[in-house]
């Protein structure tokens, strides 16, 4: 397992649960993963180091968590060394690493998505903006850890974002080229698809909470909490998403000559006129994974192995009827500056159905568990109702002792208000 976040911790747990009883190794991991798997201090973006580690440890199968190593070609390198990999090669990872590449693919293959124009100079971008209504969306082309998107409510805000990205170097090389995209309105859902060439299996639906504050206020983050299933995606709507978006996306990627073996994460806006693609990610979502995997009743290792080997045809998936809800415990100040090193005390015992997945955690010199990142923990609860899952997750969050912990109080609230 490659990665160090809550997503990777949830993956390690799910892989460990396989009847194949695998020995799971992780690089680099975090303090929580270290309790479940042997961790090796090789950074997730050290492609050569990870390849050497896999060979030295005689690893038989590699699952890659984050997008950065995928876009740097870790999949290509490992495959060239003869190792089965779950995670696309660099050509597939471009679907996440370049929003312009993806937009062109979506438009070419007539997959529903917002209209957009591309710019690498401020002047023409401002001229274009002058004739567009607000809100309008400004996106850095390249990877920006989930932060390269500004949904501008005013033209002044849009112009400032354009200037900062292209001239101000706000996202480095990632922001030298930008998209100016029409704003979509509606509710979002995350559709995670296990893809192997033209074969695929859709995982349980989920909904993320991207903004830092309650009521979806404040800046965008990597994700502050999730729940599954997202019941706004009715079975009929899921059928439509499959027909209009998933099948065409998988076919388009294959038609472009990409042999995609890994998770295709499709961010979808449920607009009044139908589902529309916001983005692709070339990996599992974080924190979607922390609610999606606990609801899968089948052997995840077998599923990912089949996808990696090109043997996914005919695969099906059983899910549990339970609801899952994950609250992300972040460091106060995230997504801007936040403290590191504050001790964390976890409850000695967790109630049934509750799991704590570590993200930004480490051990200090004294061996204490400390904060080491913006998103620190993901607290997932599984229960027969969404309300019960929320109650359990929040009880566990409240029981975590940490001076600078912060979490949203309203994860799942939209679905709870609608009544499940
Ligand atoms: P992304 O990094 O592409 O996932 O974008 C981050 C977030 O920005 C998305 O989850 C949406 O909430 C928002 N967003 C992106 N594109 C649009 C759009 N065209 N219209 C409205 N919101 C958007
Ligand atoms: N939670 C959204 C993402 O992983 O990109």
Measured distance CA(310)–CA(329) in Å, rounded: 37
Count CA atoms closer than 13 A to 280's CA, side-chain side. 32
CA neighbor of 245 nearest in space, from 187, 202, 181, 288: 202
Which of 51, 71, 91 marks a domain boundary?
Answer: 91
Supply the pLDDT for residue 146.
65
CATH of the domain at 409: 3.90.600.10
- In a shared domain, residues 7 and 85: yes
- From the CB of 146, is ligand 1 less than 6 Å away? yes
Q: Mean pLDDT over residues 209-215, rounded?
A: 96
Strand 25-28 relative to strand 2-3, pairing: parallel
Q: Would 73 be classed as within a structural domain? A: yes
Q: Mean pLDDT over residues 241-258, rounded?
A: 98
CATH of the domain at 133: 3.30.1490.20
Supply the pLDDT for residue 175.
66
DSSP E strand stretches across 108-224: 116-119, 136-140, 149-152, 178-182, 187-196, 199-202, 207-208, 211-213, 217-220
Ligand nearest to the CA of 220: 1
Q: For residue 131, is pLDDT > 80?
A: yes
Place 256 in a pLDDT band, splitting at 50, 70 and 90.
very high
> Over the stretch 371-394, which tens digit does the pLDDT of each residue have?
999 999 999 999 999 999 999 999
Ligand nearest to the CA of 149: 1
- In a shared domain, residues 77 and 150: no
> Over the stretch 154-190, which tens digit does the pLDDT of each residue have?
999 999 999 999 887 777 776 689 999 999 999 999 9
Q: Whose CA is nearest to atom 10 of ligand 1?
A: 210
Q: Would 318 be classed as within a structural domain? A: no
Supply the pLDDT for residue 168.
78
Residue-range definition of the domain harbouring residue 204: 187-308
CA of 328 to the centre of ligand 2 (A): 12
Strand 136-140 relative to strand 149-152, pairing: antiparallel
Q: Which of 287, 357, 408 to mutate to test the pocket of ligand 2 (most atoms within 8 A of CB)?
A: 287
Which of 276, 308, 340 marks a domain boundary?
Answer: 308
Is the peptide bond preceding residue 280 cis, with omega within 30 degrees of 0? no
- In a shared domain, residues 201 and 299: yes
CA of 158 to the centre of ligand 1 (A): 14
CA neighbor of 181 nearest in space, from 270, 279, 259, 85: 279
Q: What is the mean pLDDT of the chain?
A: 96
CA of 351 to the centre of ligand 2 (A): 27
First-to-final CA distance of the chain: 35
Q: Whose CA is nearest to atom 7 of ligand 1?
A: 149
- In a shared domain, residues 143 and 253: no
Measured distance CA(94)–CA(286) in Å, rounded: 19
CATH of the domain at 265: 3.30.470.20
Is the peptide bond preceding residue 299 cis, with omega within 30 degrees of 0? no
**Number of domains the chain is built from:** 4
- In a shared domain, residues 143 and 192: no
- From the CB of 146, is ligand 2 less than 6 Å away? yes
Q: Would 108 be classed as within a structural domain? A: no
Tokens of 248: 């065409």
Q: Would 97 be classed as within a structural domain? A: no
| Phi and psi angles of residue 126, each rounded to the nearest 5 degrees, phi first | -70, -35
The answer to whether 231 and 189 are in contact (CB under 8 A) is no
Supply the pLDDT for residue 171.
75
Place 405 in a pLDDT band, splitting at 50, 70 and 90.
very high
Which of 91, 107, 134 marks a domain boundary?
Answer: 91
Ligand nearest to the CA of 190: 2
Measured distance CA(291)–CA(294) in Å, rounded: 6
- In a shared domain, residues 207 and 291: yes
- In a shared domain, residues 203 and 270: yes
Strand 375-383 relative to strand 323-331, pairing: antiparallel
Measured distance CA(288)–CA(398) in Å, rounded: 21
Q: Would 287 be classed as within a structural domain? A: yes
- In a shared domain, residues 84 and 153: no
Atom of ligand 1 nearest to the CA of 148: 2
CATH of the domain at 48: 3.40.50.20
- In a shared domain, residues 165 and 196: no
Measured distance CA(3)–CA(343) in Å, rounded: 23
Q: What length is written for the chain? A: 420
Supply the pLDDT for residue 304.
98
Measured distance CA(397)–CA(144) in Å, rounded: 28
Query: From residue 60, how far is each of 56, 63, 308, 311, 326 by CA, in Å?
Result: 11, 10, 12, 16, 31
> Over the stretch 279-307, which tens digit does the pLDDT of each residue have?
999 999 999 999 999 999 999 999 999 99
Supply the pLDDT for residue 89.
98
CA neighbor of 411 nearest in space, from 206, 226, 154, 174: 226
Count the neighbouring beta carbons within 10 Å of the beta carbon of residue 155.
16
- In a shared domain, residues 236 and 283: yes
Q: Would 96 be classed as within a structural domain? A: no
Supply the pLDDT for residue 350.
93
Count the neighbouring beta carbons within 10 Å of the beta carbon of residue 352.
8
- From the CB of 106, is ligand 1 less than 6 Å away? no
- In a shared domain, residues 336 and 301: no
Q: Would 111 be classed as within a structural domain? A: no
- From the CB of 114, is ligand 1 less than 6 Å away? yes
> Over the stretch 73-113, which tens digit does the pLDDT of each residue have?
999 999 999 999 999 999 999 999 999 999 999 999 999 99
- From the CB of 278, is ligand 1 less than 6 Å away? yes
Q: Would 397 be classed as within a structural domain? A: yes
Measured distance CA(74)–CA(369) in Å, rounded: 30
DSSP 209-226: --EEETTTEEEE-S-SEE
List CB contacts of 253: < 8 A, sequence separation 6 or more: 92, 95, 105, 195, 260, 264
Measured distance CA(382)–CA(386) in Å, rounded: 8
- In a shared domain, residues 195 and 295: yes
Q: For residue 208, is pLDDT > 70?
A: yes
């Amino acid at each position: 397992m490659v990665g160090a976040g809550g997503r990777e911790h949830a993956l390690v747990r799910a892989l460990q649960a396989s009847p194949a009883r695998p020995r799971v190794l992780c690089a680099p991991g975090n303090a929580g993963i270290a309790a479940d798997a042997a961790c090796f201090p090789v950074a997730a973006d050290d492609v050569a180091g990870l390849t050497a580690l896999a060979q030295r440890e005689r690893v038989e199968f590699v699952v890659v968590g984050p997008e950065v190593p995928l876009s740097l070609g870790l999949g290509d390198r490992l495959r060239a060394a003869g190792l089965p990999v779950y995670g696309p090669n660099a050509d597939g990872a471009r679907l996440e690493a370049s929003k312009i590449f993806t937009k062109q693919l979506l438009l070419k293959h007539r997959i529903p998505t917002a209209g957009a124009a591309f710019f690498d100079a401020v002047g023409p971008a401002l001229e274009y903006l002058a004739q567009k209504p607000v809100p309008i969306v400004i996106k850095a082309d390249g990877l920006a850890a989930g932060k390269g998107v500004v949904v501008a409510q005013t033209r002044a805000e849009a112009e400032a974002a354009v200037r900062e990205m292209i001239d101000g170097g706000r996202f480095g090389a990632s922001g030298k080229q930008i998209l100016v995209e029409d704003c979509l309105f509606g509710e979002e859902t995350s559709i995670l698809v296990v893809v192997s060439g033209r074969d695929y299996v859709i995982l349980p639906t989920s909904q993320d909470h991207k903004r830092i504050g309650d009521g979806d206020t404040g800046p965008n983050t990597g994700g502050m909490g999730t729940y599954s299933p997202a019941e706004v995606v009715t079975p009929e709507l899921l059928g439509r998403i499959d027909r209009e978006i998933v099948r065409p996306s998988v076919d388009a990627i294959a038609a472009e000559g990409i042999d995609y073996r890994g998770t295709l994460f499709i961010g979808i806006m449920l607009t009044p006129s139908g589902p529309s693609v916001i983005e692709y990610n070339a990996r599992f979502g974080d924190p979607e994974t922390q609610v999606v995997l606990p609801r899968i009743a089948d052997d995840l290792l077998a599923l990912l192995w089949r996808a990696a080997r090109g043997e996914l045809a005919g695969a099906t998936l059983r899910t549990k009827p339970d609801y899952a809800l994950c609250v992300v415990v972040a460091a106060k100040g995230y997504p801007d500056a936040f403290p590191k090193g504050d001790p964390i005390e976890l409850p000695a015992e967790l109630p049934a159905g509750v799991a704590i997945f570590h993200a930004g955690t480490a051990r200090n010199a004294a061996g204490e568990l400390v904060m080491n990142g913006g998103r620190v923990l993901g607290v997932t609860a599984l229960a027969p109702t969404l309300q019960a899952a929320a109650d359990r997750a929040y009880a566990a969050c409240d029981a975590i002792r940490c001076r600078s912990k912060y979490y949203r109080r309203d994860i799942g609230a939209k679905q709870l208000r609608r009544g499940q």
